[in-house]
Amino acid sequence: MGSYVRTGALTSSSKPLKHDQELRPSICCLCNGGCGIKISLDQDGKIKAVFGDPENPYNKGKICPKPMEISQTLYGPYRVRYPMKKVNGTFERISWDEALDLIAQKYNHYLKENGSGSIVGITSKVGGSYSKLAHSIFSSLTGLVNYGTGPICTDSEVNVRKKLFGDGSGTSPLSDVLNSKLLLIVGNNAAQTKAGQFHWITEAKRSGTRIVVIDTRFTETAQAADLFIQIRPGTDAALGMALLNYVIKNNLYDPTFVSEHTNGFGRLAQDVSSFTTERAAEVTGVPQNVIERLAEDLATLRPGMLFEGRGVVCVNNAGASIWAFESLMAILGNIGKPGSGIISHINNTGGISNLIQTKDVMKPDRKRSSSTLYKDMLEGDVKMLLISGNPCVTWPDSARMRTAVKGLDFVVSHTLVLDDSAVLADIVLPATHWLEEAGAQASVHRVLQWKNKVVDTLGEEKSGGDFYRLLAERMGLPSSYFPDSPEAAWELERKYNKNVAGISRERMLATPGGIHFPCSEVGKETVRLFPSGTFKTSTGKVELSGVSDAPLDYVDTTEAPGNMGVSREKYPYIFSTNKVASHYHTECQYSDWANEMEKPYVEIHPLTALEIGVGEGDQVRVETVAGSVILPAKITLSVPRGFLSTQPYFGLQSPYGQVPANTLFPVAADPIGGNLVSKNIMCNAKAEGGQES
């Protein structure tokens, strides 16, 4: 991806920006890539164009298309500019004071009458570090339980890694790949999902790192690899277990690392002992000699790194796959050294502790999993919902989520646009965009960079930081805990979170690319985790068998949650979702340009298309046990026969007017890691008649 320029107005008279104009630096917050951006403003102080920042050492001037859509998101017709209240089914403008009074009154009412568990937050896009801190303080004071992006994106990865290593974050920066001899990319189309940072992988390849991609789809990432291994959907755990077995049986692992830094090696070896490469070849469709060559390469080409993606995390047998591949990295001694470890966009800097006095902390009065949340919403156990995000599109069984949200007593949406979730709210509050709020931004390189506020809001938008502080004041909570600016919030964060204590705002601003964390004192950056071989588990060792009481085992995706008991005759194909670089966030879709660039489609292999009788562009109805969607066919050899895939996050309220693809996924969770399933569901597909318009 190159450096893009995009004007806001999209008119033929729009002129390219001259490079000698003043450009305001900031950091893109869309995907945790952490790309540096430079922004030009027009004479009215509005964003005119967005460039990649050539001085940022991590993206070196490159960005993907998403930040270039910002001017349309910010100034387009879909933006919410003032608070609104639903009256007889129609939104009416109200003041912030009126909105806050009403929310505070409802909140206190449900707290008193129904307990803290009757109020829930679904807050995947609460804002930057200022808003996140305020949200966290508010939650501690009210017992609010929040469901962030975890259930739909990261839970399995975080939970398995925490049990193995004691920390859910990726262990190593993406930039470390230049020190690596082999990079194993599993279920991850980074060329699309981290497009501004993908140059690290191509650069590493040019300098001799062997790039191996395992995926069901022949992705853009696969096309850039030295070796692409096409695997049957949902069989990654079988491959990971066979690699473990081969490496163990042939003594290809690192015996010193295993004996000094791991527990449970014997049980792991036992768990995988029946998974021969021959058996794995039958299950995965990957030839036996390819599996064995990969195992040999992994053993020979050390240090090596692993970069897993949503293709293995958001599936019904995710836990076993992550457990197998990350254990493999551990027994090869690929942790803690330059060029080794696990890359991930999960970059948790850790939370604050001891900021709130014990007397002021309210514990949640009940617990529920993300799967049981639907039922509790539908059955009245949940009364009130705070939304920052778009769960009616991004969560599985989207139609059921819509019904559940619609049926609640009181719903508040703090949002940029009137999306599928916001339209169901009783109160809609205008949120600031991330370029209208400063803060610290973590990235896939395990660094924190200071993100400058670049523009003022044009309407009555407020950040989550301001919203939760003002709401706390109205509710009679001790509001002195809350910071009143992004800068004050960061100072509090540093005081109560030792992982970032050494990272001042000034230090971030003075250091191109930012500061590696944890960094407990000035000067002490941690580039990669576990350099001394001491892990954060209770034993200080990698707990190879500590992920589950049950043995590591492979369960076929068609027999795992979501597909269990589903008729193969009725639903003979597998349906999945994949992200594309131009618009996988709700905010990026409320843009005419996104619509110009790429419309929804379903990828189908030519032989599958022949079976169901559709040609390019014909409408296809995809059906699962949870629902159905209609999409135009894109016939391609990049997916295997019997496998269909589409983009996950289009919504009914967006300019696309598309039934969300997540409608097709029943509510089911990976039993080991807990992620809700949003890939690899059994489906049927039929010609619907008609061509896309």
Q: List contacts with ligand SF4 (CB under 6 A).
A: 28, 30-31, 33-35, 63-64, 66-67, 194-197
Q: Which of 472, 463, 419 is nearest to 438 (CA)?
A: 463
Neighbours of 437 (CB within 10 A): 26
Q: At its nearest, how many Å lie between ligand SF4 and the CB of residue 582?
A: 10
* Nearer Cβ to ligand SF4 (135/194): 194
The contacts of residue 68 (CB under 8 Å, 6+ apart) are 4, 5, 6, 49, 50, 593
Is the separation of the CB atoms in 316 and 561 below 8 Å?
yes
* Nearer Cβ to ligand SF4 (27/247): 27
**What distances in angstroms separate CA 526 from CA 229, 493, 520, 522, 532, one per listed residue?**
34, 18, 9, 11, 12
DSSP 612-626: HT--TTEEEEEE-SS
Q: At its nearest, how many Å lie between ligand SF4 and the CB of residue 506?
A: 23
* Nearer Cβ to ligand SF4 (135/451): 451
CA distance 490 to 469: 15
Give the tokens for residue 296. 């040999």
* Nearer Cβ to ligand SF4 (194/462): 194
* Nearer Cβ to ligand SF4 (33/121): 33
Neighbours of 490 (CB within 10 A): 25
Q: Is 160 exposed, middle or buried (0-12, 13-18, 19+ CB in 10 A)?
A: buried
Q: At its nearest, how many Å lie between ligand SF4 and the CB of residue 28?
A: 3
* Nearer Cβ to ligand SF4 (64/301): 64
Q: Where are the alpha helices (DSSP H) in 252-344?
A: 255-261, 265-272, 277-284, 288-300, 310-313, 318-331
Is the separation of the CB atoms in 420 and 480 below 8 Å?
no
Q: At its nearest, how many Å lie between ligand SF4 and the CB of residue 603?
A: 22
Q: Output phi, psi for 381, to 5 deg.
A: -70, -30
- The one-letter code for the residue type at 617 is G
Q: Which of 352, 403, 370, 348 is nearest to 122 (CA)?
A: 370
Q: At its nearest, how many Å lie between ligand SF4 and the CB of residue 394?
A: 16
* Nearer Cβ to ligand SF4 (51/410): 51
How many CA atoms, within 13 angstroms, populate the side-chain half-sphere of residue 625?
Answer: 18
Q: At its nearest, how many Å lie between ligand SF4 and the CB of residue 188?
A: 13
Q: At its nearest, how many Å lie between ligand SF4 and the CB of residue 514?
A: 13
3-class secondary-structure state, position 66: helix
CA distance 664 to 405: 18
Q: At its nearest, how many Å lie between ligand SF4 and the CB of residue 65?
A: 8
* Nearer Cβ to ligand SF4 (28/80): 28
* Nearer Cβ to ligand SF4 (197/457): 197
Dmax over Cα atoms in the chain, in whole Å?
71
Q: At its nearest, how many Å lie between ligand SF4 and the CB of residue 185?
A: 16
Q: At its nearest, how many Å lie between ligand SF4 and the CB of residue 31?
A: 3
DSSP 266-289: HHHHHHHTT--HHHHHHHH---HH
Q: At its nearest, how many Å lie between ligand SF4 and the CB of residue 500?
A: 20
* Nearer Cβ to ligand SF4 (586/680): 586
- The four Cα atoms 575, 578, 580, 584 give a dihedral, to 10 degrees, of 100
**Secondary structure string (H, E, C) spanning 434-452:** HHHCCEEEECCCCEEEEEC
* Nearer Cβ to ligand SF4 (517/571): 517
Q: At its nearest, how many Å lie between ligand SF4 and the CB of residue 19?
A: 19
* Nearer Cβ to ligand SF4 (61/486): 61
